[in-house]
Amino acid sequence: MPYLKLIRCGNLLFIALCLLLIRFGFFQQFDASTTLSNLDFILLTIAVVCIAASGYVINNILDYEADRINAPKRLVIHEKISEKSAYNLFFTLNVIGVGVGFYIANVIEKPSFSAIFIFTSALLYFYATYLKHVAIAGNLVISLLVGIVVLLPIVFDLYPAINTNNIVNQRFIFNILAYYSLYAILINFLREIIKDQQDINGDYKVQSNTLPLLIGQKRTNAVVFVFCFILFVSSIIFLSEDLYKNTKAVVYALVFIIAPLLAILAGVLKAKTKKDYAKFSLILKCMLFFGLLSLGFPEYLIS
């Protein structure tokens, strides 16, 4: 369906899965003290998904000219859905997301936390209208928002339940999720730069100021290589110091993190074509998926 394509249904399912794995897998396995009922947590998930979907919609609306060049076969706006209908959907999703978010903030007796949803909604609009066309800034902002998704269960479910009896365990859980958030930010940041490489022709036409257009594709390849190398070395250190006793965790990391990073390091400096960058983008997306998927299987994290 065109509307499912417009809101990037697959990505939204991934966001929902990530949040649900944290609550019903990760939190339960580590005996976390939580505040929200199961229904309220599902409502929190719906709020996040609606705001994310609104971001995809406005991005599709405003990226029409660039997408005519970068991905003409995937066009939805003007082809299958009118711009007016898309804007109506954008506003509806925002109203639902912010409204449900306001309700959840009041459930935990922290009404000021509803500002998180309002700020995120506004930032996604600002990203689509301006930041996306600013080198590094747009890549960084959207990556930070991806990382924030991992932290939302802490803010709305874990933090309000902290007391003197559970603070040690709650802090332990927070630290692990903070690592996951950082992982999500770094992987998505690399993917955003790769996507800029992939979309360079359309970005040039609409006069976007992306990194490949500023410093060229070869230098941008070098930037990606350096970041991947840093992430590779960091992952090796983490494995050797923290997970080396856990065979399951080591194997999982080698297959879904180390091996994909090696594949990128081996080929990114020679990448030239749209097909090359599409392959690396897919690898990074799979790394993000399988990395966050392990939240549902804590035995892969702790011996």
Q: Which residue, among 192, 255, 260, 190, has the nearest Cα to 232 in the 3D structure? A: 260
Tens digit of pLDDT per residue, the chain (303 long)?
788 888 999 999 999 999 999 999 899 888 889 999 999 999 999 999 999 999 999 998 988 777 777 777 777 887 788 889 999 999 999 999 999 999 999 999 999 999 999 999 999 999 999 988 888 999 999 999 999 999 999 999 999 999 989 999 999 899 889 989 999 999 999 999 999 999 888 888 878 888 999 999 999 999 999 999 999 998 888 777 666 567 777 888 889 999 999 999 999 999 999 999 999 999 999 999 998 888 877 655 554
Contact 185, 57 (CB under 8 A): no
Amino acid occupying residue 116: I
User: Which residue is associated with the tokens 């840093």?
Assistant: 230
Percent of the chain's residues with pLDDT above 90: 65
User: What six digits make up the tokens of 229?
Assistant: 């190398």
Domain boundaries, the chain: 2-300
User: What six digits make up the tokens of 294?
Assistant: 């392990």
What's the pLDDT at 135?
A: 85
What's the pLDDT at 303?
A: 46
Beta-carbon count within 10 A of 270 CB: 9
Q: Which residue, among 59, 68, 90, 74, has the nearest Cα to 192 in the 3D structure? A: 59
Cα(286)–Cα(263) distance, rounded to whole angstroms? 13
User: What six digits make up the tokens of 104?
Assistant: 């959840």
